Amino acid sequence: MAHRTPQTLLLTAALGLLSLAPAAAQSARSHYQQAELAYEAGKYTEALYYLGETERALGGTNARIQSLRTHTYYAQGDNVHALVELTRYFRAAGAAAQGSEAYRDMQALREELTSGNKAYFEQQKQTATQGQAQELKTLDAELAREQEELTYKVVKESGSKQALQDFLRQYPNSSHAGEATASIGAVERQVQFETLVEQGEAHHAAGRWQSALQSYEAALKLHGDSEVRGNAAEVRRLYASQLTRQGDEHAAAARWSEAVRAYERADAVLSSPELSAALRTARDEAAFAAADRSRSDEQYAAYLADFSNGRHVPDAVAARLNLQLARAEQAQKQGQTEAVETALADVAKLGQSSVVWPAYRGRYYALLRQEATRLTSGKKAERVKQVDRAIGYYQQLDQAQPNHPYAGKLRHLQAKRKAWSHEDFGYFAYRRDLRNEVGFDLGYNTNLSWGGFFSLRGTAQALAASIPTNGFPRRGRQYSQGFFNFNFTKKVTYPLWVYAGGGYAHFVRIQDVPGYPANGILPNDNPQKGGGVNTEFGAIVKIRWAALSVGVSAPQFSAEKRQILGLNGNPTIVNAAIGIYY
C-alpha cells in the first residue's frame, strides 16, 4: 500500500494549526501535541481524548483532526470507527484538498478498509464462540471502565469547567459524579474569585476605594488569600481616611448631620479612638442643633437623655427652663391650676441642680408667689379646694427666701386648712322651751357650706291621747302650742354653728275646768285657736360627739288671730336642745 506514514500526516496536521487565532491556536496546539505523543506511545484512548479537547478548543473539527483520529482507530484495529472517521475526513477536507498527497494517501486507506472490512467482520461472527463473545463483552466493560477512569483523570488534571461538564454528560452515573460536580463548583468559585480580585485591583489603581473594598471583601469570602487580605486592609485604611476627611470638612462648616454620616461610614470601615471621639462630638452637636431648630422641650429633653455629659447640657437646660416657665406663665393666665403645678414641678426638678439655676430662680419664685396668691384670693370653695397647693407653694418660698414675710401667711393658711378639714355630720337633739313644749331636731350640718334640720315640738299634756274629764294640769299655761319648722345652719367658726329658719306655729287657748282652777281642757269645738308663720334663730355648739343649742321662736299671728287667741302681741319663746352628732 502506497500512502504516507502516520508521523508524516501528524506533522502536516500540526503545521496546519498555526493558521488558527492566537488564543484558540495555543489551546488547540497543546491538546493536539498531547494527542500526537499519546498516539506515538501507543496510548490510543488517551490520543482520542486529546483530539476531542482539540476539537472543543477550535469549536469544531477539521481534516487534520479527522486524519489523526482515523489513524488512531486504525491502529487500534477498530476498522469500523476508522472508516467512519475517514468519511468525516473527506467531508472536512473538501474539493480544494483533492490534489494533495495527504488526500491521496487517505483515499488509499479507504480502499484498504472497504475491501477487507466486510469479509473480516463476517469471519468474526462465524468463528466467535459463546465463551469468546462473553470474554469480549467482559473486556469491553473493563475497557469502558478504564476509558472512564482515564477520561476523569485527564479532565480532573485539566481543571476545565467545560471538560468536567462534558464528562458528566458522557458519564451521568459515574462514581466520580459527585466529585466532578464539586470540582465544577470549585472552578466556578475560583473564576469568580479571580474576577473579583481583578475588579478590586482595577478600582484600587483608580482610587475608587469603596468599590475596591467591596470587590476584595467579596473575593475573601470565596478564598482567604493573604495577598488579597493585605490589599483589602490597605484599601480599608485609605477609604476610612477619605471618609474621615469628609467628616472633618463637614464639621468645620458646622454641617453636623453630614459629618455624623461621614464619620459613621468611616467607623464602619475602620474604627479608631480618634474617630470614635470625633463621631461622639458630631452626634452631640447634631442632636443639639436639631433640638435648637425645633425649640421643643421634648427635643431638648431627648438631647439631655442621650448626652448627659454633652457639650451643650447647660444650654439645653436653660432652653428647657425658659420653655417650662413660659408654659407655667401661660397656664397661670388661663387659670389652669394643675398645668401650672406640673410646669413648676418640672422647673424645680430640672433647674435646682443645674449650674444655670441662679439665672432662673428669681422668675421661678415670682411665679410661685403669684400662684399662691391667686389660689388664696378666689371664692371660698376654690380656696378650700386649693389650700394644700397654696401651703406647698408658701413652704417652698419660706425655705428659699426666709427673710420674706411668708411664715405668717403660712400659719394662717395652715389654721384655715385645719378649720376646713372637719367633716360634715348628722345632728339629732331633744328640744324643749320654758312652757314645757317638747320635741326633737333632725338634720345635717356641713363644715363649709349650708346645712339644715327639721324641728317638731308641742305641749305634751295637751297632745295626750286620753284626757281625763277633769282636764290636765295647766301649770300656768294659757295656750297649747305646736311648732313645725325647718332651719338652715352655717358654721361661724369651729365648733359654733348658727341657724335661722321658719315654719308653722299653731296655738289653742286652754279653757278652764269648773271646780278645778289648776286644770284645763281643749274641747273639740273650741273657737279660740289659730296658726301663723313661725320664725326661729339660734346657735349650736359641737363638743366632741354632743351638741348644745339655744334658740328663739317668734310666731307671727295676724291681728284677727291675736284677738281670737286673746294675745296682746306676738309672743317670743326661748328654747334649748341637747343632742348628738353622727
> Does an H or E element contain 154, and which?
helix 130-158
Q: Look at residues 276, 175, 153 and name the one whose alpha carbon lies nearest to residue 164.
A: 153
Count CB-CB contacts under 10 A for residue 479.
20
* pLDDT tens digits, 28-71: 888 898 898 989 988 888 889 889 889 888 888 888 898 999 99
Which of 95-109, 474-488, 497-511 has the highest average model confidence (pLDDT)?
A: 497-511
pLDDT of residue 13: 43
The whole-angstrom distance between residue 36's C-alpha and the CA centroid of its chain comes to 75
In whole angstroms, what is the distance from residue 59 CA to residue 287 CA? 66
Which of 342 and 153 is assigned the larger pLDDT? 342
Cell numbers linked to 475: 301649770
Question: 200: which residues sit within 8 A by CB, 6+ positions away?
Answer: 212, 213, 215, 216, 219, 228, 231, 232, 235
Which of 563 and 82 is assigned the larger pLDDT? 563
pLDDT of residue 17: 44
| Phi, then psi, of 318 in degrees rounded to 5 | -60, -40
* pLDDT tens digits, 192-251: 888 999 998 899 899 898 998 999 889 888 888 889 899 999 999 999 999 999 999 999
In whole angstroms, what is the distance from residue 200 CA to residue 425 CA? 93
Cell numbers linked to 270: 475602620
**CB burial string 541-571: b at 16+ within 10 A, e below:** ebeeeebebebebebebeeebbebbebeebb
* pLDDT tens digits, 351-366: 888 899 999 988 998 9
In whole angstroms, what is the distance from residue 106 CA to residue 71 CA? 10
pLDDT of residue 24: 65
In whole angstroms, what is the distance from residue 156 CA to residue 151 CA? 8
DSSP state at residue 524: T
Q: Which fold has domain 6-127?
A: 1.25.40
Only one residue has cell 474617630, namely 275
**CB burial string 439-467: b at 16+ within 10 A, e below:** bbbebebbbbeebbbebebbbebbeeeeb
In whole angstroms, what is the distance from residue 244 CA to residue 26 CA? 50
- 533, 554 contact by CB (below 8 A): no
What average pLDDT is seen over the chain? 83
Q: What would the DSSP string read from start to end of 541-577?
A: EEETTEEEEEEEEEEE--HHHHHHHT-SS---EEEEE
In whole angstroms, what is the distance from residue 423 CA to residue 501 CA? 23
What band does 139 get if pLDDT is binned at 50, 70 and 90? low
pLDDT of residue 156: 79
Count CB-CB contacts under 10 A for residue 473.
12
Evaluated on CA atoms 530, 535, 541, 546, the torsion sign reads: positive
Q: Is the per-residue pLDDT at 450 higher than 90?
A: no
Cell numbers linked to 103: 488526500
Question: 350: which residues sit within 8 A by CB, 6+ positions away?
Answer: 317, 320, 321, 324
> For the packed helices 380-400 and 407-420, what is the interaxial angle rounded to 10 degrees?
140
Only one residue has cell 473480516, namely 120
- Helices (runs of H) and strands (runs of E) counted in the chain: 20, 11
In whole angstroms, what is the distance from residue 314 CA to residue 577 CA? 70
Q: Which amino acid is at 81?
A: H
- 374, 390 contact by CB (below 8 A): no
Q: Which fold has domain 425-581?
A: Porin (2.40.160)
Whole-structure pTM value:
0.48
* pLDDT tens digits, 392-428: 888 888 888 777 778 888 888 877 777 776 777 888 9
3-state secondary structure 247-274: HHHHHHCCCHHHHHHHHHHHHHHCCCHH
Q: Which amino acid is at 144?
A: A
What band does 140 get if pLDDT is binned at 50, 70 and 90? low
What are the angstrom distances between the C-alpha of 283 and each of 241, 278, 319?
A: 19, 9, 19
In whole angstroms, what is the distance from residue 280 CA to residue 285 CA? 9
Q: How far apart are the first and last CA of the chain?
A: 149
What are the angstrom distances between the C-alpha of 256 and each of 243, 286, 292, 372, 572?
A: 14, 5, 13, 45, 92
pLDDT of residue 89: 84
Count CB-CB contacts under 10 A for residue 8.
13
What band does 576 get if pLDDT is binned at 50, 70 and 90? very high
Q: Look at residues 434, 433, 431, 437 and name the one whose alpha carbon lies nearest to residue 455.
A: 431
Per-domain residue ranges for the chain? Answer: 6-127, 225-294, 305-420, 425-581
**Burial (CB count <10 Å: 0-12, 13-18, 19+), residue 166:** middle
